[in-house]
Amino acid sequence: MNASLRVRPQAPAADGTVLQVTPASAGWDHVGFQVVRLEDGQSHRGGQAGREACLVLVAGSADVEAGGQLYTGLGGRATPFEDRAPGAVYVPAGVAYTVTARGPLELAVCTAPGSGRGEVRVIDAAHMPREVRGTGTNTRHVRNILPETEPAEGLLVVEVVTPSGHWSSYPPHKHDTATPGEETVLEETYYHRLQPPQGFAFQRIYTDDRSLDQTVAVEDGDVVLVPRGYHPVGAAHGYDLYYLNVMAGPERRWIFRNDPAHDWIVRKG
């Protein structure tokens, strides 16, 4: 595992990539994550043998060609903070795809191991309703893009908007042991965006024995790796925080355990 759990964006590569996390770069086995920025008419091509993908149009609109199908005019929200579902397409392992921007586009490519089962499909906005979790300054707005109730081999994808001054992924929880019915093992990435973009947030990643204990100052466009441990997030006053989570592991179920020291927060009353 890399000493730093923070991955910073760079200037766009020839294919538009500004940030990429691979299992090899992260030092784990399952999750891959890539952010691509394109201008109007530019295209990004991908598709890997042995890795399924969920293409999320974080902001902007695009045409997506995959598996012999062409889907036009997907997405369309101006920013990830807009109360509107993103465009999203599921692509099985081994299927090539092309994403062509209609205007400026921010694309997230979420990947995990797969055998090629399933079909290419657009994930309908009606299947991604926003829900409110928490109360008070623990309130956040969650949209499940690819939950375990929807078909995929290993991927779980969700986005969250945390209002200014609020906490998220809180009380601190983890999913790093295989305890049947109580907890599953899932690697996870957090792709962070801030509004206004000069803002910041904090994310702590720590284990019970503190063999891992890092606090990361998050800026707009950063990715935070969560290989194990608890991973709460706090948004600074004045700055709303968006993050896109990608999870995958040996079992496609999200079962987590709260930090016992802080579990009282959700149990009181």
The model's confidence at residue 196, banded by pLDDT at 50, 70 and 90, is: very high
**Residue 4: per-residue pLDDT:** 87
% the chain with pLDDT above 90: 97
Query: Is residue 1 assigned to a domain?
Result: no
Report the pLDDT value the prediction gives residue 267, as an integer from 0 to 100. 82
Q: Identify whether 84 is part of a domain.
A: yes
pTM of the entire structure? 0.97
Domain assignment of residue 95, yes or no: yes
Question: What are the tens digits of pLDDT across the range 185-194?
Answer: 999 999 999 9
Q: What is the CATH number of the domain that holds 50?
A: 2.60.120.10
Residue pLDDT, tens place only, 146-176: 999 999 999 999 999 999 999 999 999 999 9
Segment 216-225 mean pLDDT: 98
pLDDT given for residue 1 in this prediction: 43
Number of domains in the chain: 1
**Angstrom distance (rounded) from CA 170 to CA 175:** 13
- Do the domain assignments include residue 149? yes
Q: What is the tens place of the pLDDT at every residue in 55-69?
A: 999 999 999 999 999
Residue 120, token pair as written in the block:
């290419």
Domain contains 119? yes
Domain limits for position 34 = 7-267
- Is residue 2, in this structure, part of any structural domain at all? no
Q: Over the chain, what is the mean pLDDT? A: 96
- pLDDT the model gives residue 3: 60
> Furthest-apart CA pair in the chain: how many Å?
55
Does the structure show a pLDDT above 80 at 229?
yes
